[in-house]
Structure 1
């Protein structure tokens, strides 16, 4: 038997199809973005960076500003071995693999079907075999919502991957700088202990000669005990710092390279006074919040589309083979069917309406969260700028103090060379110089960590300063 839907039934569906084709989903709310002319300000006198975004923007090698090849190799290894980053990459690959499925959701489908069918009185049985074709029309915004949702989930996975990479690199740079600082502090503490021991020996010699009373040794012994305790405390903390850095590297049992000596002349870029807010547009946190908003908008559009009918075009081509009953063994009967499939929701106790209302509330929540992320990111950058300026001033002051003591030491050495002073350096001057170097190391670390915080808040490095007119030549 041959069954074919009449053309009149198809024509009766045309008004509904035209009405559905005219229905378009509502536009999603626009996310809040930093204005192109706005700037993130920090108090203080410093250079102003250009308005345009740097060509090297992105999560690239901002850590190379520290000029440490060992740190560069450490980060390259960690980006290949960190389990959290590898998991984020797998989620990104999964989102990319699912993206074509959204394109095919409302395209024709063809399947091969085979099954047994019995008559209501069970007196006859048939085996039906054939091809089923179905093409659901993505009307009332279903197709657009499906594509928008898949794209938002893909870009959300990309933003989360970039955020994971940025967080890993920032924590690794911070851990490396702190590890290098603790090693320098430990070496400085050992030198201080030797200086205090030398000072105690000199006092002991004067006491033995009767030039000083024995009671003058007690304060020096207390200072020596204090610096020894400080040196031992730093030594006890070094394994913890090493273990933390090894975990961040992705190899808990691997040996860490010995950091190179920190040259005093290795200067970081000067602290800027302000930054254009347009630099924040590609920040992973902002991109993640924006894609969360687009995801919520797509889900709200899909929930709204579910309140309307579903339309599809269906076709069946096959044959029915009688296997039971009086017609068993007869010739197969060909079948051909073509027509629309219409699913009209009539009553569901308010389930679809409740889902649409809930999705609209979630959309408004995502919009508010996106606005909050923008404000928090701008505040974080401004706070990082302020901390960077303060740490920069502190580092310069500590370096000037150390330089002044170095000059005094050099002057004493010149006087000793011409016989105007003792050949050995004065203990007080040497201890003051060691203390000044300790202060400079701390200020230097604070400045470097402030740069890490600023790079993490921005998501990309600072460009080189534009040359000032007349600077060349």
Structure 2
């Protein structure tokens, strides 16, 4: 039958649940502690393509980045951690929903009666006319369903769901940070590898020139126009350059293996076809003005802010434990000894609210709240430290980019001057004004300038990569 008391109680409980407050502090996004802009100049337009490495205009690099995005194990692990955080968010949301469970069972039971009969005789003063059985065997069939719902009067479940959602944001930012690190490492290793190959080519040419110098020194020594010391010096130069070539080969092989692993291949696999390398393109344009909001989107800053949000929400979860908890419970069972008796009249029901109130816990609840507040303060300090570190890294990257651009310009001008000197010396040699040694010396100096230019160009590319990483990609 319909219970009129229950009809009055349930709406009141539902109204209380819907009108429940949310205890604990509300999260407020921390105030920015970054400079308004870096470098006072005209504002720079934000890039339209988030794939920042495309500014290098290198199709081989584009292909490597795409392969790393789909096959790099670090990125895959970060995505799996994000998936786990989303599952935990779903669990937190489900915790505040009504819980319904069903059960069915069968058991063969026996109840001893000898002891019960003797107690009955003593209490009632009855003398049995027959000897009672020592036990009764019977079957028990049971089917039931139970439901419970803890009313979120104080917002404890809502705070837990809020913390879980913030943890998802933190995991998402962490995954973006891993992806950015891999992207930067792929670009850095790729340009370093190309630089090593260029240096290897220059070292081989230099060794050839040194061998020509050694051959001339031998001829002069045979004619008495040079000393054994002169010959030994030229041969030492040849050995030094040969050793440089060996070192460069080893470094290039190591970089090749590292790049193969970054794009998800085995170390013995060539990451790309060397014959498809495009010629070096121009360096990306330097940033003119960078608003602080650009750096605020850095994955580590976003992650630290989300961790702070989650820690703040956990204070509300701990605070809600101090308040009474009201749960609505319901139970419906049918227990029969014979299947023929199974029916509506064999039902047992129970429904109503339950109240639990923390009275004494030995200080556990207070310590839990104190711990959550301490974790929130630690998260706030971690956020501030992350932002300060980002500020320093962006400043360092900007200064490194400017310095690398200036050094690259100087090395390029020096290389042009050396090449002009080689052209003038070769012209004099063609006219017969000078011998071969000045020409070889001029070419060797030009090769040294070319090698320095290659290193400076790689340094400028790495500085640009570091700037993109400091800005969050």
Common topology (TM > 0.5)? yes
> How many residues align structurally?
446
Instruction: Quote the residue 1:378 is aligned against.
Output: 391
2-side partners of 1:421 and 1:262: how far apart? 39
> Does the C-alpha gap of structure 1 residues 104 and 14 become closer, same or farther in structure 2, counting only changes over 3 Å?
closer
* Higher relative contact order, structure no. (Cα contacts within 8 Å, ≥ 6 residues apart): 1
> Does the C-alpha gap of structure 1 residues 126 and 310 become closer, same or farther in structure 2, counting only changes over 3 Å?
farther
Alignment of 1:456 with 2:469, yes or no, is yes
Of 339, 342, 354, the residue aligned with 1:341 is: 354
Instruction: Quote the residue 1:469 is aligned against.
Output: none
Q: Runs of 5+ in structure 1 lacking a partner?
A: 42-46, 461-473
Whether the 8 Å CA contact 1:415–1:421 is kept in 2: the answer is yes
Quote the offset at 1:239 in angstroms. 2.6
| 1:223-302 correspondence runs (5 A) | 223-252=237-266, 253-259=268-274, 263=279, 266-272=281-287, 274-302=289-317
Matched residue SS, 1:151: helix
Whether the 8 Å CA contact 1:39–1:275 is kept in 2: the answer is yes
> Does the C-alpha gap of structure 1 residues 193 and 12 become closer, same or farther in structure 2, counting only changes over 3 Å?
closer
Of Structure 1 and Structure 2, the greater helix share is in 2
Of 22, 43, 49, the residue aligned with 1:50 is: 43
Quote the offset at 1:145 in angstroms. 0.5
Alignment of 1:86 with 2:76, yes or no, is yes
Alignment of 1:355 with 2:368, yes or no, is yes
Q: Which region of structure 1 is more displaced relative to structure 2, 383-392 or 244-253?
A: 244-253
Whether the 8 Å CA contact 1:110–1:133 is kept in 2: the answer is yes
Whether the 8 Å CA contact 2:17–2:153 is kept in 1: the answer is no
> Does the C-alpha gap of structure 1 residues 75 and 23 become closer, same or farther in structure 2, counting only changes over 3 Å?
closer
Of 299, 305, 320, the residue aligned with 2:320 is: 305
Instruction: Quote the residue 1:27 is aligned against.
Output: 26
1-side partners of 2:436 and 2:226: how far apart? 22
Of 423, 434, 442, the residue aligned with 1:429 is: 442
Instruction: Quote the residue 1:148 is aligned against.
Output: 162
Whether the 8 Å CA contact 1:406–1:433 is kept in 2: the answer is yes
Matched residue SS, 1:6: helix
Quote the offset at 1:383 in angstroms. 0.5
Whether the 8 Å CA contact 2:106–2:142 is kept in 1: the answer is yes
> Does the C-alpha gap of structure 1 residues 54 and 225 become closer, same or farther in structure 2, counting only changes over 3 Å?
closer
| 1:155-174 correspondence runs (5 A) | 155-174=169-188
> Does the C-alpha gap of structure 1 residues 309 and 19 become closer, same or farther in structure 2, counting only changes over 3 Å?
farther
Whether the 8 Å CA contact 2:17–2:152 is kept in 1: the answer is no
Alignment of 1:200 with 2:214, yes or no, is yes
1-side partners of 2:5 and 2:278: how far apart? 86
Quote the offset at 1:108 in angstroms. 2.8
Quote the offset at 1:453 in angstroms. 1.0
Q: Runs of 5+ in structure 2 lacking a partner?
A: 117-134
Instruction: Quote the residue 2:452 is aligned against.
Output: 439
Matched residue SS, 1:270: coil
Quote the offset at 1:403 in angstroms. 0.8
> Does the C-alpha gap of structure 1 residues 415 and 299 become closer, same or farther in structure 2, counting only changes over 3 Å?
same
> Does the C-alpha gap of structure 1 residues 416 and 258 become closer, same or farther in structure 2, counting only changes over 3 Å?
farther
Quote the offset at 1:395 in angstroms. 0.9
Instruction: Quote the residue 1:63 is aligned against.
Output: 53
Alignment of 1:403 with 2:422, yes or no, is no
1-side partners of 2:337 and 2:3: how far apart? 21
1-side partners of 2:184 and 2:242: how far apart? 33
2-side partners of 1:144 and 1:329: how far apart? 46
2-side partners of 1:203 and 1:18: how far apart? 98
With structure 2 as the length reference, what TM-score do the two structures score?
0.83
> Does the C-alpha gap of structure 1 residues 135 and 189 become closer, same or farther in structure 2, counting only changes over 3 Å?
same
Instruction: Quote the residue 1:74 is aligned against.
Output: 64
Of 401, 407, 420, the residue aligned with 1:394 is: 407
Q: Please list the CA deviations of residues 34-71 of structure 1 after superposition, one character each: whole Å capped at 9, or x if unmatched.
A: 55x71234xxxxx8452664443xxx321122222112
Q: Please list the CA deviations of residues 169-200 of structure 1 after superposition, one character each: whole Å capped at 9, or x if unmatched.
A: 11121111121111111111111100111112
Whether the 8 Å CA contact 2:301–2:387 is kept in 1: the answer is yes
Instruction: Please provide the CA RMSD for this pair.
Output: 3.4
> Does the C-alpha gap of structure 1 residues 8 and 344 become closer, same or farther in structure 2, counting only changes over 3 Å?
farther
> Does the C-alpha gap of structure 1 residues 65 and 338 become closer, same or farther in structure 2, counting only changes over 3 Å?
same
Quote the offset at 1:103 in angstroms. 3.4
Matched residue SS, 1:316: strand
Alignment of 1:105 with 2:104, yes or no, is no
Q: Which region of structure 1 is more displaced relative to structure 2, 223-232 or 347-356?
A: 223-232
Quote the offset at 1:224 in angstroms. 2.0
